Chains A and B, each alone.
Chain A
Amino acid sequence: MKLIIMVCAILTCLSLSFSQVVAASTGDVLEKSLTQTEEGEKPLITDQAKPDAAKAEESKYVAPVNNAGEEEGEEETVKIADPLRPWNNAMYHFNDKFYFWILKPVAQGYSKAVPEDMRLSVSNFFSNLAMPIRFVSNLLQLKIKNAGNELLRFVYNTTAGVGGLADAAKLDFGIKQHDEDIGQALGSYGIGHGFYLVWPFLGPSSLRDTIGRIGDGFLNPVSYVTPWESAAGIKVYDRVNETTFHIGDYEDLKKSAIDPYVSLRDAYVQYRKKKVEETDASAEVESQSSIQPVGQPEPAQPLMTKLEPDQQPLNNPEPVKQSGTAPEPLQQSTEQTESVKQPGTFFKHAETFFKLPEPGQKQVVPKPLEKKELLKSTIPNNYHATKPVHVQIGVFKERSNAEDFKEKYKKKGYDTFTLECPTKQPGAIYRVLIGIFSNKKEAARQAYEIRSKEKIDAIIYHE
């Protein structure tokens, strides 16, 4: 019992120190926005003023004036003009019928005939094929590194990924796809939607995104297949294949909405807004990490929990498995270590080929970002949502040993923390991890450094 209390105390202290990091990091970002642009000042002041007012008013049941103001501020950013509503409404109903009468039954039949893994491969294949769209869109936003990564991904996935059937670049090196399209590139220039526009078969769009889509069409190799009927056929097949992964989404939206048309329109605008802003966020993260290669001081304590199937088609041979991610205890898989070794050679080449921007050069990138500082001011800082990647420097059966180890390396200047992981057997193992890295590549670099410098095993840990 005493032990439990002690551990609790330690944990509370830990979370306290975490809170300081949170405060520090958020403070940093706020300060940054203050110094960077004048627009940055506005939200900061209102942000601070609001809670006080809200606090004063909260006891009353009536909505605080300030709070309502805050809501208004949020609204401005998600509104879209809808002058063609009669057309859009008609098209919405057309698409609704098209989905329920044709697309959904076809997709359901197809998904019964074709196993999921194969459908995923098809999805990867088309996604790989559409690389030019992402490449050009990244370039248009001066996202040189992402564009280089797209090229790299294409080469690697086409060869090692067998014609793009597998996303090998993501699996082997953690190079993620940068989902960009021309519409987003236009959005990043500060071009607004114009107005909402629903297309038959294609669904929600806007003036800007329609123009973007035409651009995408020119960049999509499938468009150049002759005769055009074949190109159309291929695109329809791609669409059906994609739909199999989204059956139920539209039904859910319809079920939960008071007015599905308005709900879908709003969801589209919010989603696209995030997509446009996401590019900024990831740029920010990248430039941050280049300044601080050891890892960002992020207060994250990733913890994975596995959801068990509600109704499993087959009996789970290992019911104990439910306890969690069930990581391989105390053993470092060869696959993981391999990916650590690789970057030393592979990425060095990649870097020289694609000239990844150096910290100094990165200063050039913020230019297009400043424009959207205005838009960004209403959303929380750091909007990226990537899978957390860490470097693991040790695994222990005893928490205290893990804590000691953690402290030892913390003193050496590493951003260490421990993570409790349930095992297949009752009990847990304790991993000592370093930092959060925005991608596997950086983690690999750090792991490599630690291995050569500290002469201890360091591998990438993710999930």
Chain B
Amino acid sequence: MRKQGIALTLIILLIVPLSVHAGAPLDSVKGNINKVLDVLRDPALKGESGKKTKRQKIRSISDKMFDYSELSRRTLGQDWKKLNPAQQNEFTDLYKSLLEDAYADKIINYTDEKVAFSKENQLSEKTFEVQTTILTKKADIPIYYRVIQKDGEWKVYDVVIEGVSLINNYRNQFREILMNKSPEVLLDTLKKKVGKA
């Protein structure tokens, strides 16, 4: 019965993103988050030894879940043009590993919090915001995923935690650097940060 349920969910997940209509963004985010939850819950991966595998698995899910080039482009906003195509590629890669390093550990250490998927809001023709809440004993933390449709799939390009948008937050940091310094300096700073982390 349970296996059937899983098969069913998988089939639904396969079908729904193909059909281009609302309702899909929420399902897409839900599907990806549930995949992450499955990894976190996997009894075979308990303890320190499983952490590395967990991290790898979560990374491969996040690769599919996020659109890092969209995320990078939106983060830099108007500064994106200051970088040449090669630098843009490098930036995307470095930024991606920065985010992975920063958030992978946090996710892995989640304990018994619950995730509620409440609804989706249309932001523009191609973008939606899927609203979720992490319920902890102390408080409910709203986490909104902003998704954009790319090739019939919904990809995350921003995460808004308690009203704080990830890409807005980084944009202000990168802008301070790019204001008086060249893109190379930005890339070097990123390299250092990623290397250190």
CA A62 – CA B72 in complex, angstroms? 12
Contact A78 B11 (CB under 8 A): no
Question: Interface segment, A342-350, A353-361, A379-387, A404-412?
Answer: A379-387
Give every chain A residue within 8 A of B170 (Cβ-Cβ).
258, 263
CB B99 to nearest CB in A, in angstroms, measures 8
Q: Is the interface of A mostly helix, strand, loop or mixed?
A: helix
For B58-100 the 0/1 string (1 means CB < 8 A from A) is 0000000000000001101110110001001000000000110
Give every chain B residue within 8 A of A48 (Cβ-Cβ).
124-125
Given A67-B74, A270-B169, A271-B162 in contact, is the A305-B126 Cβ separation under 8 Å? no
Residue A217 CB within 8 A of the other chain = no
Residue of B nearest to A275 (CB): B163
CA A267 – CA B186 in complex, angstroms? 21
Give every chain B residue within 8 A of A90 (Cβ-Cβ).
none
Contact B106 A252 (CB under 8 A): yes
Residue of B nearest to A427 (CB): B1
CB A434 to nearest CB in B, in angstroms, measures 16
Given A262-B173, A426-B1 in contact, is the A68-B77 Cβ separation under 8 Å? yes
Interface residues in B161-184 (C-beta closer than 8 Å to A): 162-165, 168-174, 176-177
Give every chain B residue within 8 A of A71 (Cβ-Cβ).
74, 77-78, 171
CA A52 – CA B170 in complex, angstroms? 26
For A1-33 the 0/1 string (1 means CB < 8 A from B) is 000100110011001101100110010000000
Contact B120 A299 (CB under 8 A): yes
Residue of B nearest to A176 (CB): B140
Number of interface residues of A (CB under 8 A): 81
Contact A387 B116 (CB under 8 A): yes
Give every chain B residue within 8 A of A278 (Cβ-Cβ).
163
Number of interface residues of B (CB under 8 A): 86
Interface residues in B103-158 (C-beta closer than 8 Å to A): 103, 106, 108-127, 129, 131, 133, 135, 137-138, 140, 142, 144
Give every chain A residue within 8 A of B164 (Cβ-Cβ).
266-267, 270-271, 274
Contact A310 B108 (CB under 8 A): yes
CB A43 to nearest CB in B, in angstroms, measures 10
Interface residues in B10-54 (C-beta closer than 8 Å to A): 11-12, 15-16, 19, 21-24, 26-27, 30, 33-34, 37, 40-41, 43, 46-47
Contact A26 B115 (CB under 8 A): no
Given A271-B164, A385-B131 in contact, is the A4-B7 Cβ separation under 8 Å? yes
For A268-287 the 0/1 string (1 means CB < 8 A from B) is 00110111001000000000
CA A54 – CA B172 in complex, angstroms? 23
Interface residues in A165-184 (C-beta closer than 8 Å to B): none
Residue B189 CB within 8 A of the other chain = yes
Give every chain A residue within 8 A of B138 (Cβ-Cβ).
120, 123, 245
CA A7 – CA B5 in complex, angstroms? 11
Give every chain B residue within 8 A of A449 (Cβ-Cβ).
none
Question: Interface segment, A138-146, A202-210, A318-326, A333-341?
Answer: A318-326
Give every chain A residue within 8 A of B19 (Cβ-Cβ).
12, 15-16
Give every chain A residue within 8 A of B88 (Cβ-Cβ).
61
Contact A4 B11 (CB under 8 A): yes
